[in-house]
């Protein structure tokens, strides 16, 4: 396992769970991550030299940023790998990586592009969970020349993730990921930039943006390094999407200028119907936020009471935030959980204790 962050660590745990007799070696440029991974049982041993780790490997997983994946492929092709070795990655873009991996041809090594479409608000190997990818889509991008037996072998290695495997061409993957993952991240970052610029004229703006605006732009807090690389890798798709977005915004601008109330209503109504029809409990390309909102009275000890109730039921909270606390007004706690079942259990549990709870749709 080359790269021991959240994704690499979670895949490692899933593999060890399903294949307990395999020897799983780890490599990471950050030594503290290596030591943490071993102490947590994510890997069996770590190596500080890549060549030492890959010499007898049946499977090599590149769980590193996409530009680093390209660099690592260049390095791996210079080493003597085990005959029949499978190399895969977890990158959010596929065309450039699969093209780069053609260098393995003629070396009795099979490269199969991969992208597990799940994640978390947390980072680092300490946040790794074997069930992170359960019921998520795990996209594989074999080429026309890929031996399908190798695809099956890779799926068998990864079946402990309990993910849903889908095969796409690298081009199709990048187009779809661009639409429902990469482009929304651009929009979120752009909204934040707009507010940051206007705040210079309106100092109160950041306070007003602390609630719902902060929520809808959560994904703008993702790694700048990762998103820099993704935008460069998926350049053509994103430029096309930006052109379409400009057309869409011109359409909205025209609706507003015309003050066409029926067309404006239809615009939002159509969007609402499509959005409400999207699968609720199915994991998609952007990590889901399993949030529960709890109305709490303004008195000392209420937060510890809520967390204590959940702790007694062995329900873990990944994040907690106070949305509103003003004297003589009900406050709102936003509790975040690892999964939909955890949130459902928390909802039932707190409701039994007479707390008013709700899930935002």
Measured distance CA(143)–CA(170) in Å, rounded: 8
Residue 281: inside a domain: no
- Is the model's pLDDT at 207 over the cut of 80? no
- Predicted confidence at residue 27, as pLDDT, reads 96
- Is the model's pLDDT at 157 over the cut of 70? yes
Instruction: Kindly state the tokens that stand for 202.
Output: 């309106």
- Is the model's pLDDT at 49 over the cut of 80? yes
| 23 against 290, higher pLDDT | 23
- Is the model's pLDDT at 194 over the cut of 50? yes
Single out the residue in 276, 308, 328 at which a domain terminates.
276
Residue 285: inside a domain: no
- CATH number for the domain including 311? 3.30.2130.10
Instruction: Kindly state the tokens that stand for 314.
Output: 């062995």
Lowest mean pLDDT among 51-60, 175-184, 328-337: 328-337
pTM above threshold 0.85: no
Residues 302 and 160 grouped into a single domain? no
Residues 160 and 35 grouped into a single domain? yes
Cα dihedral 162, 168, 174, 177, rounded to 10, equals -40
Residue 282: inside a domain: no
Residues 54 and 107 grouped into a single domain? yes
Question: Which of 77, 96, 87, 60 lies closest to 173, judged by CA?
Answer: 96
Cα(first)–Cα(last) distance of the chain, in Å? 37
Give the pLDDT mean for 138-150. 93
Contact between 206 and 197 under an 8 Å Cβ cutoff? The reply is: no
Residues 85 and 216 grouped into a single domain? no
Handedness of CA 80, 82, 84, 88 (dihedral sign): negative
* Per-residue pLDDT reduced to its tens digit, 161-184: 999 999 999 999 999 999 989 999
Residue 243: inside a domain: yes
* Per-residue pLDDT reduced to its tens digit, 299-312: 778 889 999 999 99
Contact between 116 and 90 under an 8 Å Cβ cutoff? The reply is: yes
- Is the model's pLDDT at 211 over the cut of 80? no
Cα dihedral 147, 150, 151, 152, rounded to 10, equals 120
Q: How confident is the model at residue 282 (pLDDT cuts 50, 70, 90)?
A: low
Q: What is the overall mean pLDDT for the chain?
A: 89
Contact between 97 and 91 under an 8 Å Cβ cutoff? The reply is: yes
Question: Which of 101, 98, 124 lies closest to 42, judged by CA?
Answer: 124
Residues 17 and 132 grouped into a single domain? yes
Find the domain containing 313 and state its range: 290-358
Q: How confident is the model at residue 71 (pLDDT cuts 50, 70, 90)?
A: very high
Residue 1: inside a domain: no
**What's the domain count of the chain?**
3
Contact between 137 and 286 under an 8 Å Cβ cutoff? The reply is: no
Give the pLDDT mean for 86-99. 96
Lowest mean pLDDT among 30-34, 116-120, 146-150, 345-349: 116-120
Where does residue 135 fall: left (phi above 0), alpha (psi -120 to 50 degrees), or beta otherwise? left
Contact between 278 and 286 under an 8 Å Cβ cutoff? The reply is: no
Residue 138: inside a domain: yes
- Predicted confidence at residue 328, as pLDDT, reads 46
Single out the residue in 244, 276, 308 at which a domain terminates.
276
Residues 231 and 156 grouped into a single domain? no
Q: Cβ of 14: how many Cβ atoms within 10 Å?
A: 25
- Predicted confidence at residue 325, as pLDDT, reads 45
Residue 89: inside a domain: yes
Residues 147 and 66 grouped into a single domain? yes
Measured distance CA(263)–CA(270) in Å, rounded: 10
- Is the model's pLDDT at 289 over the cut of 70? no
Q: How confident is the model at residue 220 (pLDDT cuts 50, 70, 90)?
A: confident
Helix (H) or strand (E) holding 89: strand 86-89
């Amino acid at each position: 396992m080359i790269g021991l962050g959240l994704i690499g660590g979670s895949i490692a745990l899933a593999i060890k769970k399903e294949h307990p007799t395999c020897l799983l070696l780890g490599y990471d440029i950050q030594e503290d991550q290596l030591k943490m991974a071993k102490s947590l049982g994510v890997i069996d041993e770590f190596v500080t030299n890549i060549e030492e780790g890959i010499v007898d490997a049946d499977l090599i997983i590149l769980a590193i940023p996409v530009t680093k994946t390209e660099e690592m492929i260049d390095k791996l092709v210079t080493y003597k790998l085990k005959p029949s070795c499978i190399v895969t990655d977890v990158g959010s873009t596929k065309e450039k990586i699969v093209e780069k991996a053609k260098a393995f041809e003629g070396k009795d090594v099979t490269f199969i592009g991969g992208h597990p479409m799940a994640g978390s608000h947390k980072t680092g190997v300490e946040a790794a969970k074997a069930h992170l990818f359960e019921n998520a889509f795990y996209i594989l991008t074999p080429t026309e020349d890929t031996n399908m037996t190798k695809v099956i072998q890779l799926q068998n290695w990864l079946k402990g993730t309990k993910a849903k495997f889908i095969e796409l061409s690298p081009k199709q993957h990048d187009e779809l990921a661009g639409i429902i993952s990469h482009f929304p991240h651009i929009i979120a970052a752009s909204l934040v930039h707009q507010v940051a610029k206007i705040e210079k004229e309106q100092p109160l703006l950041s306070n007003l943006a602390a609630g719902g605006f902060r929520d809808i732009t959560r994904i703008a807090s993702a790694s700048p390094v990762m998103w820099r690389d993704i935008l460069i890798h998926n350049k053509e798709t994103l430029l096309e999407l930006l052109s379409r977005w400009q057309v869409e915004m011109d359409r909205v601008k025209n609706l507003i200028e015309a003050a066409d109330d029926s067309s404006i209503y239809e615009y939002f109504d159509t969007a609402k119907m499509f959005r409400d029809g999207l699968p609720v409990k199915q994991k998609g390309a952007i990590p889901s936020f399993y949030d529960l909102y709890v109305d709490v009275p303004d008195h000392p000890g209420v937060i510890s009471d809520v967390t204590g109730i959940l702790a007694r039921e062995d329900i873990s909270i990944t994040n907690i935030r106070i949305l509103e606390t003003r004297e003589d007004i009900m406050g709102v706690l936003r509790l975040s959980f690892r999964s939909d079942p955890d949130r459902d259990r928390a909802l039932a549990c707190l409701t039994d204790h007479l707390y008013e709870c709700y899930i935002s749709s």
